[in-house]
Structures are given as structure tokens and as C-alpha cells.
A and B are shown apart, each in its own frame.
Chain A
Amino acid sequence: AQSVTQLDSQVPVFEEAPVELRCNYSSSVSVYLFWYVQYPNQGLQLLLKYLSGSTLVKGINGFEAEFNKSQTSFHLRKPSVHISDTAEYFCAVKGKGFQKLVFGTGTRLLVSP
């Protein structure tokens, strides 16, 4: 079975500052890792994913994440955030060979001017 931990329920940050949203996972098998963003009253939008290869993954809207197998982490980063980045961010894991996605509890990113 897989599980995901997002330790930060809320991250306040000022506009144009860098941000890191933390994600740790556990799994008994190899995994695929994902970050999704959800704006109020909307569905999920895929930001980026790690399937294999380079551990640094670049996604949409200037976000990137780094897969660290030894630390079982997949932290999301952005060097300079905008007000429009205010949203809920979910880290998710899927075991290779499985179809179920397991979500973390989410981190609310609050960007203020």
C-alpha cells in the first residue's frame, strides 16, 4: 500500500517570494509521483509528474519538483510565486502496476501582496 504525507496544511508567502511545499511518501513498490493544483470549486489540474529518469521534474506555471528516493520525498518548488498561485496543492502517489492514486491531505498556498 502507498501513503502520502503533506506536513504543511497551509503555507503563507508573499508575492514574488520562493516557496517549497513538502511531500513525503511511503510504498513497498516503486512509484509514480504527482502534484495537482485545485482552485476553489474546481477539479484537479496536473502540475507535474515523476515517472522515471531525471529526478528534477518541471511542470506548468513555473513549478518544479525533485524526486528523492533515499528520503522518499517529492517536494514542490517555485522560485517566485504570484497571487494567482493561491490554491490547494495535492501530492499523490501511485504504485507501479496499480491504477489507484493515493492523495495527501493537501497544502493551501496563500500568496499575499
Chain B
Amino acid sequence: GAVVSQHPSWVICKSGTSVKIECRSLDFQATTMFWYRQFPKQSLMLMATSNEGSKATYEQGVEKDKFLINHASLTLSTLTVTSAHPEDSSFYICSAPRGLAGGYYEQYFGPGTRLTVT
């Protein structure tokens, strides 16, 4: 089946620094990728839709200047958390849709990246 990877799987950074998380579709091309955020014991909240070759679309309430998204190629999207603060500590998950028969898109999820800001 299709595979989506994320790197790193976990990262600890100091408050005020920036951290970049990569999401790759390993065996298919994805013009769109999705970034989710999950707080402990809570559901996944969609942060933004990453679009290859154009600007990302952010969900209401998500700071686009804080969470920079770049969809550099058809297999890579990056999320950069700028000037991170402890409240940005969370589990970040990406997904990529892959087109199947009948116009249906299956979502493939990455394993997630746990960010801890100290």
C-alpha cells in the first residue's frame, strides 16, 4: 500500500527557535497534503491544506505566519513552526490523498511527529 513518511518522528526544541517537519509520499505523487495537530487525548484538528505550486490554505484560527507550509514538490510538504513556544507542543500528523478508481481519494497518514518545546 501507499506509504507516507514524516521526519523527524520526535523533536525537542527550545522556546523561540524554529523547527521543520517533513512529510513525504514515498510511492505516489500528491499535489495536496494535509497537516493535522493533535493535543493529548484529543482528536485531530486540520490545520492547513498544502498545495503543490501554490499557497497553502489555512483553517480558521491557524496562524499562517507561525505555521509555514511549503509544498516543494509532488512528494514533499514541510511544516515549519516558527518561534516555537511551549503551547505549540503537540503531535503533528500529515496525510496525502491518493486517487483511486471512480474518482475516490484514499487518505494515507504519516506516523506523526511529536514536538516538545521547552
Contacts and interface: CB of A to CB of B under 8 A. Distances in A.
B76 interface: no
Contacts of B97: 99
A44 B114 contact: no
B34 interface: yes
Interface string B59-94: 000000000000000000000000000000001010
B49 A42 contact: no
A105 B42 contact: yes
Interface in A82-107: 88, 90, 94, 97, 99-106
A100 to B, nearest CB: 7
Interface centre among A36, A51, A101, by most chain B C-beta atoms within 10 angstroms, is A101
Contacts of A63: none
Interface residues of A, number: 20
Interface residues of B, number: 21
Interface in B19-72: 32, 34, 41-44, 46, 49
A110 to B, nearest CB: 13
Given A43-B93, A44-B93, A99-B105, A90 B112 contact: no
B107 A103 contact: no
Interface of A: 32, 36, 41-44, 51, 88, 90, 94, 97, 99-106, 108
Given A42-B111, A102-B46, A103-B44, 19 more contacts: A32-B104, A41-B91, A41-B112, A42-B112, A43-B110, A43-B112, A44-B93, A90-B43, A99-B34, A99-B49, A99-B97, A100-B34, A100-B46, A101-B34, A101-B95, A103-B43, A104-B43, A105-B42, A108-B41
21 contacts: A32-B104, A36-B109, A41-B114, A42-B111, A43-B109, A43-B111, A43-B112, A88-B41, A90-B43, A94-B107, A97-B103, A99-B32, A99-B34, A99-B49, A100-B49, A101-B34, A101-B95, A101-B107, A102-B46, A103-B43, A106-B42
What are the 7 A-B residue pairs with the smallest beta carbon separation, nearest first?
Answer: A43-B111, A44-B109, A43-B112, A105-B43, A103-B44, A43-B109, A103-B43
